[in-house]
Structure 1
């Protein structure tokens, strides 16, 4: 296969997996909004939502760590590695503090991480398609967090 075919497959796979990763956010948020008692009983309520959010936020920091280690990484990769630890710490802290601060911290974490990823893609530090992906997924996750905050 050619390089273009591999790249196209990798991009499609990333979009597919990111979409699957957004499903629990949307399902738990809609469950909280539509059937809060049932969502708490069957979907784990706030604890499950916060736990999943912390894990995914940490994963997003890991994505940036991995990008900093790539052979083509810019000389500022040490700074990127340092900043890439912040999402893990924010996610962990969100698990330790009370609502609504826990949800607001996740919202800020996903917003800042998404903005950093989009800006990095626009500057050429990350691939352009990744910036688009992060914008879409960050919007879905932020919307889900806002729904949980309201309900």
Structure 2
């Protein structure tokens, strides 16, 4: 009975809980792994904008859904870093951009880790790529830590 009540409570609270973003901040923190861009475009136009920027930067698409307004790229090897993949989701006028990286090309995707601003000795090697993508997309940037590993 307790399990049934718990499932019912989660089902009712779930959509509202997961639809809200955590508090955003204007400057990135060491643990931040997501850039949220507020754009003049929304919906499909913002999704197409993201796809165009990523394609121009040399990324190929692993998954793309115009109805769900999400896309993810294949992992590519960029200069001075291991394989990196980009994930984008559109929510209204907001574009959520996040990257994951592999330590080597031999690693499986299940070993991918979130790109965070801070590394052991300052800014991580991969963070500048996420910032460059955001800069090309334009809009006003805010940051948060999704809690992803």
Q: Could you state the TM-score of these two structures normalised by the residue count of structure 2? A: 0.29
Instruction: Give the TM-score of the pair, scaled to structure 1.
Output: 0.28
Structure with the bigger RCO (C-alpha within 8 Å, sep 6+) is 2
Whichever structure has more strand as a proportion of its residues is 2
More helix per residue: 1
